[in-house]
Structure 1
Amino acid sequence: MIAYSDYIATDHLQVHTHHPKTTAEKLCDYGSIFIGGLASVYGLP
């Protein structure tokens, strides 16, 4: 997933993971990143 995300270099990247810090450190090509269970661009339920 990380290699493909970096390949397409999306403008907005939303990632749902139990390890947000570790995953974020591996990503490098994106415009904005929304990562982790509480980082939804739609706000909290």
Structure 2
Amino acid sequence: MINGASDLLAEVFGDSGAHARSAVGVSELPLDAPVEVELIVEVG
């Protein structure tokens, strides 16, 4: 999943989509979600 999110950002934003990432395992997410992706972006 995390690789797919990274690939999508690179495809959509090109070189501007380059980013750092981390993954954290948890036993349960709110609303029984299978995955959570969080972004911090700068618009300018």
Question: Which bracket does the TM-score occupy, shorter chain normalised?
Answer: under 0.3
Bigger proportion of residues as strand: 1
**When the two structures are superposed, what TM-score results if normalisation uses the length of structure 1?**
0.23
**When the two structures are superposed, what TM-score results if normalisation uses the length of structure 2?**
0.23
Bigger proportion of residues as helix: 2
